[in-house]
């Protein structure tokens, strides 16, 4: 019985998330109501609130799922030794989920993703250095990812990995220093 309830619950969550992301393409984020989401998903408001507390909850739970998928794809990689391969995989992963990223951009809600990343950092770091280092790398990758999406993904994931690897070789990028002079 419990397994049936869990699969029905998973189905309802999937319907709710799908409906929400469709609505994000049709309406302004602020104008989407819980009633709109429930109606489009074909579920009751009670079912919605059994699974989510807010629209942001849908986004963060979806990001959790995408993050888990990425971790599964890359768990065999040593991030230090296979940095470039890891970054290529990162951009390939998000390329598959471009519609989600575009929805966040269109709704001006990329901050939800960054806040979610920052909460994860706080849970998974023990020293100040680890925390700031993680914020530095993940914050910059977040901004680069969305800039790449906004720019129409002109560079391949491999080119993006090369760019990022070059950026991390130098504390200050010469091209920025030249602009300042």
Instruction: Return the domain boundaries, the chain.
Output: 1-52, 55-180
For the cut 90, the answer to whether the pLDDT of residue 119 exceeds it is no
| pLDDT band per the 50, 70, 90 thresholds, residue 181 | very low
Determine the Cα–Cα distance for residues 22 and 25; give it in Å rounded to an integer.
5
Sequence-separated contacts (24+) of 46-50 with Cβ below 8 Å: 47/12, 47/16, 48/16, 50/9, 50/12
Q: What is the pLDDT of residue 8?
A: 77
Q: Is the pLDDT of residue 133 over 90?
A: no
Tell me the per-residue pLDDT of 61-115, one tens digit each, with 9 for 90 and over. Answer: 999 999 899 989 999 988 888 889 999 999 999 999 999 999 999 999 999 999 8
pLDDT interval class at 4 (50, 70, 90): very low
* Ranges 41-50, 135-144, 166-175: which has the least confidence: 166-175
Residue 38 half-sphere exposure, CB side, CA atoms within 13 Å? 15
* pLDDT, averaged across the chain: 89
pTM of this structure: 0.83
Angle between helices 110-124 and 128-150 (to 10 degrees): 160
Are domains 1-52 and 55-180 of this chain identical in fold?
no
Q: Selecting from 3.30.1490, 1.10.10, 3.40.1710, 1.10.150, what CATH number does the domain 1-52 have?
A: 1.10.10
For domain 55-180, the question of CATH label 3.60.40 is answered with no
Alpha-carbon radius of gyration of the chain: 19
């Amino acid at each position: 019985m419990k397994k049936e309830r869990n699969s029905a619950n998973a189905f309802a969550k999937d319907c709710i998330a799908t409906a929400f992301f469709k609505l994000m393409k049709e309406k302004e984020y602020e104008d989407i109501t819980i009633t709109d989401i429930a109606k489009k998903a074909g579920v009751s408001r009670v079912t919605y609130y059994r699974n989510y507390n807010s629209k942001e909850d849908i986004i963060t739970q979806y990001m959790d799922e995408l993050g888990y998928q990425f971790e599964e794809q890359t768990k065999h990689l040593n991030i230090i030794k296979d940095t470039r391969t890891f970054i290529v995989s990162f951009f390939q992963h998000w390329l598959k989920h471009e519609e989600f990223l575009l929805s966040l951009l269109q709704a001006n809600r990329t901050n939800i993703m960054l806040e979610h990343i920052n909460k994860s950092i706080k849970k998974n770091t023990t020293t100040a250095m680890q925390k700031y280092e993680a914020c530095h790398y993940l914050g910059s990758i977040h901004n680069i990812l969305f800039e790449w999406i906004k720019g129409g993904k002109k560079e391949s994931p491999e080119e993006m990995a090369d760019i990022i690897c070059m950026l991390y070789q130098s504390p200050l990028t010469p091209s920025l220093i030249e602009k300042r002079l």
